[in-house]
Copies of this chain bind each other. A is one copy, B any other.
Amino acid sequence: MNSTQPETEDSEDGTRRSIGARRNPASQEAILDAAEAVLREGGIAGFSIEAVARRARAGKPTIYRWWPHRTALMLDVYRRFKNTKGFPDTGTLRGDLVSLLDNHLLGFWNNSLCGTVYRAIVAEAQTDREAAKVLIAYQADRKAYSARIVERAKARGEVPEDTNSALVIDLVVSYAWHQLLLGQLDAALAEAPAVVDLILRGVAGYKG
């Protein structure tokens, strides 16, 4: 990730906070508030660094110094929503993965600005190299974090030590992305437990 990006650290409750050594926290929050307001009022189409600067009564250079890219700013607004959700800890791997899929991914995106914002971020990453970098770094970070679900299951003896945590999480997240990007979140929410069971148990009765 670009060195002008915010550095973050995990806090006890699983949320992420900005260390923000290079930022004035008050102004940073004010700009994120303004960015969120611009998104709520005008949607993705009305979102620009100019519009956020106007709303925050800040100079454009100030915003660009902290967020070198429109997508980076959108992703920080998105991340702030995400942080209000506690991390799954149901006591079982199946419960945690279902919670990750239906509560933290599909349900989080469904019928909310978050889904629209995330779709726009993914879209921008397809044609803009800087947007792609920001998204790839965010994804790697989130998936490493979510892999703790599988690591906890290893510690409980639910799955063997050599289980590929990253791949299990990748399949859950991939399914969620695909449904988001096709606008099929409602149908996907109904499938969430079946998806997790397929990943954990495979195809029942498979003879291969």
Q: Which residues of chain A have a CB within 8 Å of any CB of chain B? A: 44-45, 92-94, 119-120, 122-127, 132, 135-136, 139, 157-160, 163-164, 167-168, 170-171, 173-175, 177-179, 181-184, 191, 194-195, 198-208
Seed contacts A125-B181, A198-B199; 19 additional CB < 8 Å A-B pairs: A45-B127, A94-B208, A120-B126, A120-B127, A122-B181, A132-B183, A139-B182, A158-B207, A158-B208, A159-B205, A159-B206, A159-B207, A160-B204, A160-B205, A163-B203, A170-B175, A174-B177, A199-B203, A201-B202
Nearest residue, chain B, Cβ from A165: B203
Determine whether the beta carbon of A203 is less than 8 Å from that of B168: yes
Determine whether the beta carbon of B135 is less than 8 Å from that of A182: yes
- Residues on B with beta carbons closer than 8 Å to the beta carbon of A157: 207
- Residues on B with beta carbons closer than 8 Å to the beta carbon of A208: 92-94, 158, 200-201
Contact of A171 among B44, B136, B139, B198 (CB under 8 A): B198
- Residues on B with beta carbons closer than 8 Å to the beta carbon of A207: 157-159
Provide the main secondary structure of the chain A interface.
helix
- Tell me the number of copies of this protein: 2
- Residues on B with beta carbons closer than 8 Å to the beta carbon of A120: 126-127
A101 CB to closest chain B CB (Å) equals 12
Q: List 14 A-B contacts (CB under 8 A).
A: A93-B206, A93-B208, A123-B123, A135-B182, A136-B182, A157-B207, A167-B194, A167-B195, A174-B178, A177-B178, A177-B181, A181-B181, A199-B203, A200-B203
Nearest residue, chain B, Cβ from A174: B178
Give complex CA distance A92, B44 in Å: 46
- Residues on B with beta carbons closer than 8 Å to the beta carbon of A136: 182-184
Determine whether the beta carbon of A202 is less than 8 Å from that of B205: no
